[in-house]
Structure formats: C-alpha cells, structure tokens
Structure 1
Amino acid sequence: MTISPFAALACPLDGSPLVHGERSWYCENGHNFDVARQGYVHLLPVQKKRSLDPGDSKEMVAARQRFLNAGYYERISDAVNLAVGAVLQGNEPASFLDAGCGEGYYARRLADALGQSRDGTGIGVDISKWAVLAAAKQDKRFSWVVGSNANLPVLPDELDCILCLFGFPVYGEFHRVLKPGGHVLQLDAGPEHLRELREIIYPELKPERPDNDDAPDGFRFVSSENVRYSLPLNSQEAIADLLAMTPHLYRASAEGREKAAALQSLTVTVDAVLRIFEKA
C-alpha cells in the first residue's frame, strides 16, 4: 500500500486543469509553473500575496520542525490519524489535503498510518514557502504546494478528506474541492491550551470564546473530541521552540519574552479540540 502525489491540480489563475510536465505544471491557457529542485511547486500568484514573504518565517518553521519531530504533539497526531481512519470507508484509495501543512509533520504521520491499509494520494498546501520547502525535503510522497486556503489550487470534487490543524479554514473552498460526503477534520486550540506559557508572557489572559460545534454552510457536524494532556518541557530549547512556532512570540511583550527565555523547564497543558464536518 502506498501514498503518492495528488495530481488533480488547478491553475491558480484561471482554474483550468494543470498537466504535470517534466519540470513544470502547465494549463491549456499557457500558464506555466516550475517545479523547484526540492520537488514542490509555487501556485500562489503574486497578485494574491498580502506581503512579499507571507506565512511562517524560516525561523518559525525550523522551530516547529524541531518541536514536532521531538514527539511533543504525537498524541494529537495519533488522534487525527484515528479520526481519518474512522471517516474513510472501505479500502478504496483515498485522497487527502493538509490545508496549512506547515513542514508536513501531520501529513507524514497520516500517510504512514494510512499506507499500512490502503493506497491514496496526498497534497500539502501552505502559504509559507519556507514551510513547503521543509516539507518537500522530508517526504516525496506528496504534492507539496505553496498556495492559499482562500484559493486552493485543486479541481472541484476531488478530495475525500481535508485536514485543517491549528489553521485557517475557508469552508467555501473546502466545500468546492471535497467529494460529496467528504470530510473536514478541523483542530483548534482549546481554552486551556498552553495556559501556563501564556500566563508567563502576557500581563493578563483574554477571556476564552465558548466552543462552537455549529456546522459551517454546506456541511453537517459529525463529532467532536478533546485531546488534552500535561506536557513537561525539560529544556530551555524546547520552551523556546514552542514559543517560536506560535503567534504568541509576536504578540507577547519584550518583558514576557524575557521571562520565557529565562525558564529552564515548564509543564504546559495541551488542549486541542478536533471537530469533524461532512460535506452535505
């Protein structure tokens, strides 16, 4: 059983099918997109960028890669893999997208789990070229794409499953590219997520928004589960990587970052909510 690159890509400029040539993807209207030496393709048009270098920086990606590869969020990944296995019926080949794939940790572990029982195709999309570059260097089983959830370079009705893990869901696009009956697995931070770290770097914590299991338009709610555990971080490096891979690094004050940098150990609460929605 194998996971191979997803091929039903769409031109980000006109939506027509892309054809994979020897060193590029191209459409019938003459738009051409080179494949990088590392194997990924850039499908985020300049006119749709909000900055010259959008998404996570090279430093953030490196911090996340070190942290995730150390296994600190393995229990989250395991929960996602079990949930995907539950929603995919039978042993037919499955296609899945990691929307906001980062450096590819969750997609790689899902491919390892699925590859034991079925064939499939996978694609990872992220707006950060540094994240996609890191993902492409680590795994060749996927189509790795620099792109946006707001304009997914995927043809309609092609995917069985979409992962959106600590990301930014765009439900209209998810609905467009999913097959009828396809599923979105959305993971969000729960109210206690990293509370101990947040208490150190912020003068006060903002009130948490209540959980909302309402299904977005075009979907029905299937289920929800909480992944929660205590996570000891026993080195200054692990604490620094955790902070660096989150938006908290830029939201915290200089004083808060100094307090975090002085820590030699810290136990934090991991609190994540995994929701499953089905395309209606």
Structure 2
Amino acid sequence: MSYQCPLCHQSLTLTDRTYRCSNNHSFDLAKEGYVNLMPVQHKRSKDPGDNKEMMQARRRFLDHDYYARLRNRIAELCLENTHQQTSTILDIGCGEGYYTSHLAQETQSTVFGLDISKAMIKQAAKRYSDVNFTVASSQRLPFSDNSLNAVVRIYAPCHHDELYRTIADNGIIITVTPAARHLFQLRELIYEEVRLHHDEAESIVGFELESEENLSYPMHLSGSDAYDLLQMTPFAWKASPGLVADLKSREAFVCDTDFSIRVYRKAR
C-alpha cells in the first residue's frame, strides 16, 4: 500500500525518493524519511500543530514511560482485533511517534504515523525508522479506499466519513479519550472548581462499538516531569507563572491517569 495524492486523490508511486501520481503531482521524501502531504492550500496557519516547546516537553515526559501501560494496551488490542497476516495500521495525531513505533514493533504490521505538525513528524522520523511517517491532515487522509485494517486515535479528531472510506471491511478504530478523573490533581491547581470529564462513548457513523474499558493508575512524578505533563496539555495556557514555578520546584507530585479505551468495528 502507498499514499494517495492529496490534490487529485490518485495513487502515489515512490521513485528515487519522490512520490508522484499519474497527474505528475510530486512530493519529495525528506532526508529524515518522512513525506509532507500537506499542501499549502490545506493549511489553516503557517506552521500548524504543537509548537517546539510542547514537542520537547512531550518527548521528555513520554521517555519516562509514565504512559507505557496505555501504549502496551493499545498494541495488545491491535493484535487481538486484527486477523490479517499482514495488517496496515494508522496512528492519527501520532506526535513524536511514542505509540506508533511500539505498534510497529509489537504487531509486525505496516504502520503509518500521521500528524499535522511538521516539527513532530521530523523528530519522529529521525528517531524511529520502522514507521512510515507523513505530515498530513486527519480531515483529509492521504490513503486509498478500504486500505487500512486499523486506525488508532489518541485524543485525535478525524472526519467520520474519512474513517469509513479508508478502513477496510471488518477493520477497527481504537480510540483513547480522557475518563472522569484524568489528570485531576493537575487540573485542581488551575481551576477553582474541577469538573469530571464526560465519559460518553462517541458515535462513529458506519462503525459499531465492540468493547470499552478504563485504564487508571496514579503517576508519581518529579516536579520537572509534572511541568512537562502540564506543557503537554491545554491547561498550560491557563497556568499562571507562579503556579508553573511552584510545580517545577516540587520534589514530588502525584497525579491520576484515567483513560477510556474503545474499539469500534466497521459495520458490514
């Protein structure tokens, strides 16, 4: 399987480090090994996606494996729910590739990682050579019809019709969303009244909810790791300089994870 041209939707063929379609639209493979399939006219800003500071914080935090239990469970679910000898898996909103590379290692599948952030994909491709990384929009997936056996979405949005178009018959979507108490202690520092996350299952057109489970555990963080966690979240925009300084200076900070993990299967 290869990519689909984001301009005319014809198949792309790789020749001499350039992807080209029958209409002669071309996209060069970067020296790091990824391909940028985000045309300028599809961008909403000059440099969409997470900024450099958020990227660095995310990488530092994930390198400590605080989310390893989630990473491992996603790989297990892919193995349990895809039955083809050779599966094709897409990680939407893959960031720096922490989950994506693990999927490739554990499932021995052809794995694609997609993110709107060029900086994220560049770093991912430098680090992980076992994944096909691309800069692209999750709202316009650069893949042909019925070509994916599984799609992983960790907090990532995507048009339902694009999921239905690209996922093969009997294929699956694995979603991860915040459950009720996710990062509760961190949010307590920022908001006077902390509301529990709504934990209702998303309805995805053309797919049936097959299973759902929660994964919850406390994280015992240093102050610097807690700061990195904050920087990974939208809460960082609401945190005062004093709160940030206090968090970074702490010797320890305990914070709960609470993930909702769901498997959807394409209806026949």
TM-score range, shorter chain: over 0.9
Equivalent position to 2:173, from 160, 169, 184: 184
2:16 is the alignment partner of 1:22? yes
Question: Per-residue CA shift, 1:7-39, capped at 9, x if unaligned?
Answer: 421011111101111121111112111111101
Deviation for aligned residue 1:245: 1.5
Instruction: Give runs of aligned pairs for residues 139-154 of structure 1, distance below 5 A.
Output: 139-154=128-143
* Equivalent residues of 1:98, 1:124 under 8 A apart: yes
The corresponding residue for 2:189 is 200
1:31-73 CA-to-partner distances (Å, cap 9, x unmatched) read 1111111011111111111111101112211211111121110
Q: Distance in 2 between matches of 1:147 and 1:215?
A: 24
| Number of the residue aligned with 1:106 | 99
**CA apart distance, 1:261:** 3.3
Q: C-alpha displacement at 1:206, in angstroms? A: 3.8
Match of 2:162 among 173, 176, 188: 173
Match of 2:43 in 1: 49
Alignment of 1:1-280 (within 5 A): 7-89=1-83, 92-115=85-108, 120-206=109-195, 208-209=197-198, 211-213=199-201, 215-233=203-221, 235-280=222-267
Amino acid at match of 1:76: L
Contact 1:200–1:260 (8 Å) recurs in 2: no
Does structure 2 conserve the Cα–Cα contact (< 8 Å) formed by 1:200 and 1:259?
no
Identity of aligned residues (%): 35
What is the distance in 2 between the residues matched to 1:179 and 1:149?
17
- Residues of 1 paired with 2:160 and 2:38: CA distance? 19
SS at match of 1:102: coil
Q: Following TM superposition, by how much is the alpha carbon of 1:214 offset from its aligned partner in structure 2, in angstroms?
A: 5.0
Cα offset for 1:247?
1.7
Q: CA RMSD in A?
A: 1.5
Supply the distance in 1 between the matched residues of 2:262 and 2:239 (Cα, whole angstroms). 29
- Tell me, in whole angstroms, the C-alpha distance in 1 between the residues paired with 2:229 and 2:175: 21
Q: How far is the alpha carbon of 1:244 from its aligned partner?
A: 1.1
| TM-score, length-scaled by structure 2 | 0.95
2-structure distance, mates of 1:173, 1:100: 15
Per-residue deviation, residues 140-171 of structure 1 (Å, max 9, x unmatched): 12210000110011111001000001222322
Q: How many residues align?
A: 267
Taking the aligned partners of 2:135 and 2:52, their CA distance within structure 1 comes to 14
Give the secondary structure class of the aligned counterpart of 2:90: strand
Give the gaps of 5 or more residues in structure 2: none
Q: Structure 1 stretches of 5 or more lacking a match?
A: 1-6
Higher RCO (CA < 8 A, seq sep 6+):
1
Letter in structure 1 aligned against 2:28: D
1:93 counterpart letter in structure 2: T
* Secondary structure class of the residue paired with 1:145: strand
